[in-house]
Structures are given as C-alpha cells and as structure tokens.
Structure 1
Amino acid sequence: MPEQPPYLRVADVLRQRIVEHVWEPGDRLPSRAQIGEECGVGENVVRRAQELLISQGVLEGRAGSGTYVAEPRPRVRVVRSSAREQPTGSPYEEASLLGIQKSALVTHIKRTYYSDQGRPVETADIVLPAALCEIVYEVPIGRQ
C-alpha cells in the first residue's frame, strides 16, 4: 500500500486534535511553522493540509489573523443522483452568495422535471456547500 501524501497525514493529525478536543471551535491554531515542526514537514505542506480542512468546513481562515477551528454547522441529509450531480469548485460570485471560500467544494445538482408525457417542464440548478451536506444514498436517474 502506497504511503499517504504528507499533507493528508498532517490533515489527519489536525482533524484528530479537533476530535480529541485539543482545539475547540473558535480556537486559533498554532502557526504553520510550529505545526510543521511538530509533524516534521514544511510550512507549504501544512498550508495544503489547512486548505483541505477549510474546504471541508473543519477550519476557517481569517485574513491577517490565522486559521481557526470552525464552528460546527448543521448538516443537511440529501439524496443525490449520480447521473446529474457534479462536485466542483465554487466560482467567486457563487462562493460569495453561499458565504464560503472560493476554493471550497460544492455539489452542483442539475434537475429536470418531466410531464407524464415525457416533456421537460421545469429545471432546477441547486448548489450546496459540500461541508454542509451528507450524501445519504444515491438514486439512479434515467429518462424513460
């Protein structure tokens, strides 16, 4: 089995410290240099690990202030259609409207509703921050 990339190992260490209540929501994390020294990696590896956890909603970056443990947000249980959803990064305007960082992961769902006669009658584009939803199960979608 190949060894885990260093940034994922550091992300696991940070996540474990949060789970074990070493750091609580709202706590500021130590500097990247300090975390890097503790984990035996460089600051760029720590930065990449923090960016991953920020995109997952575990941490939040505050410009000029540092990186903090994010407040837990309620997660919505959703059903997704593997035929129609696309996980993507969020464009600037979309990220701004959702109150998330530009690089945060989102799930973009495009739905088309059909009449009994099989004609499309309505479409919907739904964008959910990935950190706020949990995929419960998938429903295969196919046109008749």
Structure 2
Amino acid sequence: MLRRSPYLVVADALRARILAGEWEVGARLPSRARLAEEYGVGRNVTQRAVDHLIVQGLLEGRAGSGTYVRVPRERLRIVRSRHGSPSLAALKERGRAGAWDAHSQVRVPAPEGIAERLAMEPGDLCVHTHYEFLADGQPVQLSESWEPMAITGGTPIVLPEKGPLAGKGVVERMRSIGVDIETVVELPRPARANREQANLLGISFGDLVLQIERTIYDTEGRPVETADIVIPDVRREVAYEFGVDRP
C-alpha cells in the first residue's frame, strides 16, 4: 500500500482542525516551527502543508505577519455566450464586470508566441492593451490583448478604448473599417496565479485561475485580435453558452 506524503497528512490534519472551528475565519495559525514540533515533522513539511492549503484557498499568507484562515469568497458566474454576435457576448461580459480599466501601447513588437497566433512575423507591430475588469469594486478578470497595426494602424479605432468606438468591442470596431468577424476561438486552461496576477486580482500567489487564450478571425480566416484572459477561480466560475443551429 502506498504511504501518503507527510505534508499531505499534516495538511489534512490542519484542514480538519480549521473546519472544526479550532481557528476561526481571520485567525492566525501557529508558526511553522510550532506546528512542526506538534506533528513531529521537519519545518519543510509544515511549510509544504501550509502552502498546499493556501493554494486550495483555505489559508492566506500575509508577508511579515504569518498565515491566517481565509475569509470565504462567493463564486459568481461569468457567462461566455455564443448566441448571436460575439460582440454582444463581449458587451455582456463587460456589463457583468461593471467597470474596467485599460491601458494601450502602440507600436509594440509582437513576441514570437503572439506573432504565431496572429499569423504574422515576430517583431511586427501591434497595439497591446492591458485590461483589469471590476465587479462591485473587486477585480474579477485580467486580459492582455494584441491587435496587428497592419489592420488598425492609421484608422480611428487603433486604440480600443479611445476614439469614436471606444469600448464597443472588437466586432463592432473592426466592422467600422470594413473587417467582418466570423469566428472566435477560445482555449481554456487551468493554471496557478503568478505573483503579478495575484497582486492585481487580490488573491494569493498560486491560487487557481482559468486562463483563456482567445483569437478572433475575420471572414477570410485572418486573425485580427488575440488575447490572454485570466479569471480567478475563487471569485468566478465560467459557463459557456452555445446556440444550436436549427434545420
């Protein structure tokens, strides 16, 4: 019979004590050294056990202060819909978010991975936009968007959040310059929040997030925008809606 790793045994014991109410929400746990002595293990074992519970969302670490029982967060739903126009789905998402901040940079050379997704050469110029979406004053989604300047350069829509169609979404903006959108492809993958994402989203380093790689194509199959979307699992769950074509 396989023996469980010592850190998982300690993590299970700590979880049971927390759920039993030994430490209330917001309470500070004993130090790693004290826990190690209590369970008869090395400090590295208790460190891994605590980190495991932080990743699971039961605990949170506070720099220079210690480890605390985390306040539970309500998980709300984001619906990513394919009914009708994709631009309407984007607007629905923004409506749920309530508000967003955006910062764009022009003439940014495309990194190799982004260039491949946009069917362009590495170093070709793009508009790079960083988004932070808020709901009830809390950050709920991040997005990094790339649009080829070969398509939007010299047009009124070169900056997604400025100009006559600011905030209208990719579909409506592209249509205004004669580019019709036909397909949106999204590749969702589970991941762990890096330090920058955790700081921006107000979650803990290593928390579960959903990363969505989205690319939008016109009627000729040309990619016109690609984005990396990050949604914190502790705050949001994602549901996909698809329309069914009737005969």
Identity of aligned residues (%): 54
Report if aligned partners of 2:193, 2:206 keep a CA contact under 8 Å in 1.
Answer: yes
- Distance in 2 between the 1:46 and 1:135 partners? 33
Per-residue CA deviations over 1:52-79 (Å, capped at 9, x if unaligned) read: 1112221111122111101111123568
Structure scoring higher RCO (CA < 8 A, sep ≥ 6) equals: 1
- Secondary structure of the 1:9 match is helix
Residues in 2 aligned to 1:128 and 1:10: alpha-carbon distance in whole angstroms = 30
CA contact (8 A) 1:84 1:109 kept: yes
Q: Check if 1:85 corresponds to 2:199.
A: no
Structure 1, unaligned runs of 5 or more: 140-144
Q: Provide the alpha-carbon RMSD of the alignment.
A: 3.0
Q: CA deviation at 1:89?
A: 2.8
The equivalent position to 1:96 in structure 2, one of 199, 206, 227, is 199
Describe the SS at the equivalent of 1:110. Answer: strand
How far did 1:108 drift?
Answer: 0.7
TM-score, normalised by the number of residues in structure 1: 0.73
1:67 partner SS: strand
SS in 1 for 2:190: strand
Q: Counterpart of 2:191 in 1: which secondary structure?
A: strand
1:42–1:107: structure 2 CA closer, same or farther, 3 Å change rule?
same
Map of 1:142 onto structure 2 = none
Deviation at 1:113, TM superposition (A): 6.0
d(CA) in 2 for partners of 1:12 and 1:72? 18
Whether contact under 8 Å (1:29, 1:66) holds in the other structure is: yes
Distance 1:135 1:39, change over 3 A: farther
Larger % of strand: which?
Answer: 2
Tell me the CA shift for residue 6 of structure 1.
1.0
Deviates more, 1:30-39 or 1:41-50: 30-39
| TM-superposed deviation, 1:3 | 1.4
1:129 deviates by 2.2
How far is the alpha carbon of 1:123 from its aligned partner?
5.4
DSSP 3-state at the match of 1:131: coil
**1:1-144 mapped onto 2 (5 Å cutoff):** 1-77=1-77, 84-112=187-215, 119=221, 125-133=228-236
Q: How many residues align?
A: 135
Secondary structure in structure 2 of the residue aligned to 1:100: coil
- For residues 11 and 235 of structure 2, the distance between their equivalents in structure 1, rounded to whole angstroms, comes to 19
Give the stretch that moved more between structures: 86-95 or 22-31: 86-95
Shift of 1:84: 2.3
Q: Which has the larger radius of gyration?
A: 2
Instruction: Supply the distance in 2 between the matched residues of 1:16 and 1:51 (Cα, whole angstroms).
Output: 16
Matched to 1:109, the amino acid is I
